[in-house]
């Protein structure tokens, strides 16, 4: 892949301070997302997905959060070097918008959808009220909510969960954002509604050439949505590649266990924390992050692990593999 990435995360380390001291929450060697692609991050609850998403937008609360080192380059410019003012003026909403798993955390219950959309559009684009209204209707149509003018007059509580999530996507796009971070946007929705939102995200990526970072707890959700993906475990990317490489041919013992545990019926929800082996209590200070759960561990695993290219665009962070050898199993 010689193309210069649109978003390039390099050596990102984020700690959280607590009474017990500092704990590393994110320790990512590298993630590259190309312009116009949908990139998936999968990982179980508490693994750092939201912390990662918030850090891209500099929305992480600091303290307790602390960026220890690293870069988050958007088209070559380090977002971590920008001031809050610059992030507000140039990046949030204008270039990058975030869709949270709970739409009510974004929508204000006391204003109609139309009032909220028009306000955001006027704040971000040089349009008068009438033009902003037209733009808002256009965006509601784009997210395929029927009867857009009626939707404009509704309060958030008058919409279903799926409709609210579509409004959020319309809001995210209405300021011209070209990069959407979708943090488990379908987690609280039932399966059919979930499928509709995933389809919509995929269509927006294809038709509007929006770049998407799609975060999911359930690996099954990325198959229809994402081109490439990374598996996050305790803040580290332990495997990455094309979605097909990850889902069809997982190599890291954690990903392998995880994917084999997914029910064949993709509509069944799984609790990822219940499918991986239990912590055997053996702590190591350095080395593999999965060590105390891994059933394949060996002495080598106590050394620092690096992402190793196992085949084509497929990378794994595990001592069972050797760099430069086609050793996909």
Ligand X SMILES: Nc1ncnc2c1ncn2[C@@H]1O[C@H](COP(=O)(O)OP(=O)(O)OP(=O)(O)O)[C@@H](O)[C@H]1O
Task: Summarize as ranges the residues that interact with ligand SF4 (CB under 6 A).
Answer: 252-253, 288, 290-291, 294, 296-297, 301, 305, 318-320
Residue closer to ligand SF4, measured from CB, 122 or 301 = 301
Q: Using CB under 5 A, which of the segments 24-32, 43-51, 89-97, 281-289 binds Mg ion?
A: 43-51
Number of C-beta neighbours around residue 227 at 10 A: 17
Q: Using CB under 5 A, which of the segments 42-50, 109-117, 206-214, 274-282 binds Mg ion?
A: 42-50
Residue closer to Mg ion, measured from CB, 50 or 205 = 50
Binding partner selected for residue 64 from Mg ion, ligand SF4, ligand X, none, CB under the kind-specific 5 to 8 Å limit: ligand X
Instruction: List, in sequence order, every residue forming a beta bridge with 71; answer none if it has no partner.
Output: 10
Which residue, chain included where needed, has tokens 């198959």? 223
Candidate residues 27, 50, 218, 251; the one interacting with Mg ion per rule CB under 5 A: 50
Q: How far is the CB of 49 from Mg ion (least distance, A)?
A: 5
Residue closer to ligand X, measured from CB, 22 or 158 = 22
Residue closer to ligand SF4, measured from CB, 228 or 251 = 251
Q: Does 217 bind Mg ion (CB under 5 A)?
A: no
CA dihedral 208→211→217→221, nearest 10 degrees, is 40
Q: How far is the CB of 57 from ligand X (least distance, A)?
A: 13
The site for ligand X (CB under 6 A) is made up of 16, 25, 43, 45-51, 61, 64, 217
Residue closer to ligand X, measured from CB, 36 or 65 = 65
């Amino acid at each position: 892949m010689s193309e210069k990435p649109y978003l390039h995360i390099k050596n990102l380390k984020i700690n959280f301070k607590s009474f017990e001291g500092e704990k590393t929450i994110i320790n990512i060697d590298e993630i590259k997302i190309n312009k116009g692609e949908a990139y998936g991050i999968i990982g179980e609850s508490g693994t750092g997905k939201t912390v990662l998403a918030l850090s891209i937008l500099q929305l992480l609360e600091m303290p307790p959060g602390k960026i220890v080192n690293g870069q988050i380059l958007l088209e070559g410019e380090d977002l971590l070097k920008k001031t809050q003012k610059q992030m507000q003026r140039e990046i949030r909403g204008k270039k990058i918008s975030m869709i949270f798993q709970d739409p009510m955390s974004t929508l204000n219950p006391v204003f109609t959808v139309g009032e909220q959309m028009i306000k955001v559009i006027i704040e971000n684009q040089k349009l008068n009220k009438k033009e902003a209204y037209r733009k808002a209707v256009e965006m509601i149509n784009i997210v395929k909510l029927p009867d857009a003018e009626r939707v404009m007059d509704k309060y958030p509580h008058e919409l279903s969960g799926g409709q609210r999530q579509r409004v959020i996507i319309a809001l995210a796009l209405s300021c011209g954002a070209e990069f959407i971070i979708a943090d488990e946007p379908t987690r609280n929705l039932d399966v059919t509604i979930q499928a509709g939102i995933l389809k919509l995200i995929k269509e927006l990526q294809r038709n509007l050439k929006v770049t998407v970072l799609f975060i999911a707890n359930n690996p099954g959700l990325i198959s229809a949505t994402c081109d490439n993906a990374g598996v996050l475990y305790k803040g580290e990317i332990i495997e990455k590649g094309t979605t097909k490489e990850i889902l069809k041919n997982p190599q890291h013992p954690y990903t392998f266990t995880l994917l084999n545990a997914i029910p064949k019926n993709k509509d069944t929800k799984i609790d990822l924390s219940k499918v991986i082996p239990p912590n055997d209590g053996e702590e190591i200070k350095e080395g593999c992050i999965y060590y105390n759960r891994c059933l394949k561990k060996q002495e080598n695993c106590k050394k620092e692990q690096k992402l190793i290219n196992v085949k084509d665009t497929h990378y794994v962070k595990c001592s069972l593999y050797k760099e430069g050898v086609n050793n996909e199993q």
